[in-house]
Structure formats: structure tokens, C-alpha cells
Amino acid sequence: MLVYDYLASPAIVSLAPAGCEKIYVGKQAGAHTLSQDEITSLIVRLGREGKRVVRLKGGDVFVFARGGEEAAALHAAGVPFEIVPGITSATAAPAYAGIPITHRDHNTSFTIATGHEDPAKTASSLDFAKLANPSQTLVFLMAMGNLEGIVASLRANGMPPDLPVAIVREGTKPQQQTLVSTLEGIVAEVRRVQFSAPAIVVIGNVVNERNALRWFDTGPLFGKRVLVTRAQGAAGEFAERLWEIGAEPVIVPTIEIGPPDDPAPARAATRSLGSYDWVVFSSQNGVEKCFDLLAEEGADARRFGAARIVAIGPKTAERLLGFGIRSDFVPEEHVGEEVAAGLVERTRPGDRVLLFGAQAMRDTLPEGLRAAGRTVECVAAYATRLVRDRAIAEAAAATDVWTFTSASTVRGFVANVPDAARLARTKLVACIGPVTAAAAREEGFVPDVVAAEYTVDGLLDALTLAVAP
């Protein structure tokens, strides 16, 4: 089971296994799903029931996160537990904003304090006389509600009014925003731009280092929420690349990969791979399925014999290489017409060609080869099926960029988003190539971006160019 907070990143929550029960217990100012006492009682009860529970918090569990109280309650109840330290937002958020909380030119110490003390207290326990030291860095957590009082107390104790202040909102996330001002002007600036929690406040001369050290919020797709419609197993690498350039990937597969309606032809083909002159793999999925079938029979790459291998796309070639197969031909263009032309140049009339790919394979490639006198056998290694999930429509409305990596992802998307054509007018729509773009047009919306290189790398390059200033 996963019991998680408001500040727990959705990307981390999504890593939970499919069978894991998730319980949201987030607390925002004035909007608590459960009170702290209720949360503590919940995890104690689950522990006593023998459940294996992950209590996921944002930042570090023992830095102003009530983790100590929850652990103490588990101890008192005789429930065993372990602590996995996190990285507190007090250091992570400034780092992502390009602000080192220590720097030998500016400070010799730093202090982390809460801006939201126990409301049951009759007076603050913060010693503002000691905190008001311009030679140290001050980091306040949960301070937005009391910012005006904190600033007033620091200034009353002699803190210089021109001392730099930064407020980092949604630190380390693609939605991160950084507001920079001075101690004298920060409250008015927060009101002017309506800056809100969750945020941390950094006070000190180290804030000036942001001018040279900012890095995270300079990515070409920073702040963009990007819809990833690929099948679940294929979405990971694309999502990682999006994170690297500042985007927030929202993975909602519109298709799934499964066995073909009739698996017998694929099994038969893998038993006689060496009888073909050429074997063509149209995708990584086809490679995976082929070697899965070989493994079931205790066979390996030797089954190919003297057959020459074609990989449509560099990723397919890379996956083949992982199984010890170096492709004899990797077409520069990944559309059927170009592949057929390149393969006709390399083959002879009468050559036997096996096309090992999706059940719904396009006719362009086999027809082109047959017209040139080649003997072609098309074998369905896997089937692509549309996914039905209302989360797709919700994600479509909430994202800035839609990406499609095949015609089937377009069709699966439209099956779940009936008003896709209307909604697309407010989005940046990106397709991996002309075939995918044509499918989008058939469904009533025009792509804004079509990759020149029909790969994930090409799609990312095209997106980067599209949003460049």
C-alpha cells in the first residue's frame, strides 16, 4: 500500500506497481484530506493488519514533515518500520533554482526554520535576534502564510532591507517558479504576482548566485506538460528525455501491445528463420516477440542462419544488437515506400522476405516488394489494441503538448477524446512522422510539428525547435 502526501511527486507515485493500493492523505492550507491524527491512526491500523506500507512524503521525512511523530506512534503500537531519508526541499529547491545555500564568498552557516509553527503555541519559539544575521543563509519552509510577520521580525532585529530574497515555488518540478526581490520588497512583490505555496524562502547574499547558476528552468521545454501516448513499456525512455529538457511527461497510453489473434504463424516463422533470404523487423516490439519465441524453444540467434536482417529504425537496430544481431540494412527513411525501394536494390527476384511485425501491418512495403518479384511473407508477431481509459481525456485537457509516435496512438487517443479536433486548436500537436501526421489529419486535427527524422530523438528535436524563442 502507498500512503502519500500532497507534496509527493506524481512521477514518484506512478512508480508504484499496478497492484499497489494508493491512499492520498494530502494536506494543503485549509484543505486537509485527513488530519494528522487521522493519518497517524491510519498507518498504525494498516501496520497492525500486517500490510506492507510505504508512507511517502515530499522532501525528507524528518525535516518539518511530522515523520518523527508518525514513527513514534508506530513504535508505541509495536509496529516495525524503517526510515528511508529523503532530500529536504530546503536544499533541493534552492539547488534547482541555481542558489547554493552555502558559498564561501557569502556565508559560513545556514539555518533552516519553519514558518508555520504549532498553532497551539502561545508564542513563537524562533529567536529572530539570532536569525537576523546577514552572514548566514536563512531558509524558511511553510512560510508563505506568515511571510509578512517573518520579514517584519527580521527587519526589526536589524536585517538589512536590501538583502536578497528568493522564493522558490514547486521546487524541482517542471512547474517551478522563482521570485527574486529584497527583504524590503518581497512582501509587495508576492502580492503583486500572487505568488503562493508550496514554496520555500531563501534569504541571503547567496541568492545573487542565481544569475550565473540557474540551470533547471532554462530547458527548452521547461514548464510544459507533455502528453505521452505510447504503449506503457515503450514510454519510459521518451519520458526520461522529456524530464531532461524541463518538461513534465504525462504518460497515458492510448494503445497496448499484446499477442496476435493467431500466434501460430509467428511460431512457425521463428522455427524456419534460416530458410528466408531476408528478415525484416519493423519495430522493437517485433524483435522482442521474435526472441521471446526463440527462448521458449531454447533457441537463439543462430536460428537465423545466413538470412540477412533489416531493421526499420535505429532503435530497432539497437535492440537487435542487444541480441547479438547486427543489421545488414537500416533504411534512412522509415516509411514503407522508401524501405521497399532500398530493399529492392539489395535483393534479387525470387528472394524470400519475411516481414515480422504488427498484426495491422501497412500494405505499402509488402506490395512494393511483390511488385518487384520478391516472395514476401507477412507474419503478425504482436497486435496493437486501443486502450479505453477516461484518464486519457482528462490528461488531454490538462497538458500543453500532445505527442503521437504512430498512427495507432492517434486512433487510440481519438477513441477516448471525442472532441480531440476542437481541443487540438489550443495545444501543440507533435507527430513522429508523415504517416502519423496523416492519421491525425484524418481524425480532424492538423499537427503543428512533424519530425524530419522519424525517431523519438527526431521528435524531441522538432519540439525543441518549435518552442524556441
**Mean pLDDT of all residues in 365-371:** 90
Report the pLDDT value the prediction gives residue 121, as an integer from 0 to 100: 66
Answer left, alpha or beta for residue 194, where phi above 0 means left and psi between -120 and 50 means alpha: left
The tens digit of pLDDT for each residue in 56-96 reads: 998 999 999 999 999 999 999 999 999 999 999 999 999 99
Burial state string for 55-81 with b = 16 or more CB within 10 A and e = fewer than 16: bbbbbbbebbbebeebbebbeeeebee
Residues forming beta bridges with residue 257, ordered by sequence position: 384
| Dist. CA 329–CA 394, nearest whole Å | 42
Kindly compute the dihedral angle of the four CA atoms of residues 261, 235, 390, 362, in this order, to the nearest 10 degrees.
-40
CA torsion sign for 120, 88, 12, 17 is: negative
Q: Report how far residue 289's alpha carbon sits from residue 353's, in angstroms, rounded to the nearest whole number.
A: 18
Question: Whats the size of the chain, residue-wise?
Answer: 469
Checking if the pLDDT of 409 tops 70, the result is yes
* Confidence band, pLDDT 50/70/90 cuts, at residue 440: very high
Instruction: Give CA–CA dist 417/409, Å, rounded.
Output: 12
Closest C-alpha to 237, from 257, 452, 228: 228
At residue 146, does pLDDT exceed 80?
yes
- Going by C-alpha positions, the residue among 383, 388, 384, 391 that lies closest to residue 252 is 391
pLDDT score of 234 more than 90: no
pLDDT 10s digits, 89-118: 999 999 999 999 999 999 999 999 998 876
Encoded amino acid at 386, one letter = L
Alpha carbon 361 to chain centroid, angstroms: 29
The β-bridge partners of 379 are: 356
User: Cβ–Cβ contacts within 10 Å for residue 255, how many?
Assistant: 24
Compute the average pLDDT of residues 149-167. 97
Identify the structural domains of the chain with CATH numbers, from first to last: 2-76 (3.40.1010.10), 89-216 (3.30.950.10), 225-254+388-467 (3.40.50.10090), 258-385 (3.40.50.10090)
Whole-prediction pTM value? 0.76
For residue 404, give every residue at least 6 positions away whose Cβ sits within 8 Å of its Cβ, in sequence order, or none. 229, 410, 413, 429, 430, 431, 432, 436, 439, 440, 447
Cα→Cα distances 255→7, 230, 294, 451, Å: 30, 7, 26, 21
Q: What is the pLDDT of residues 319-352, one digit of tens each?
A: 999 999 999 999 887 666 778 889 999 999 999 9
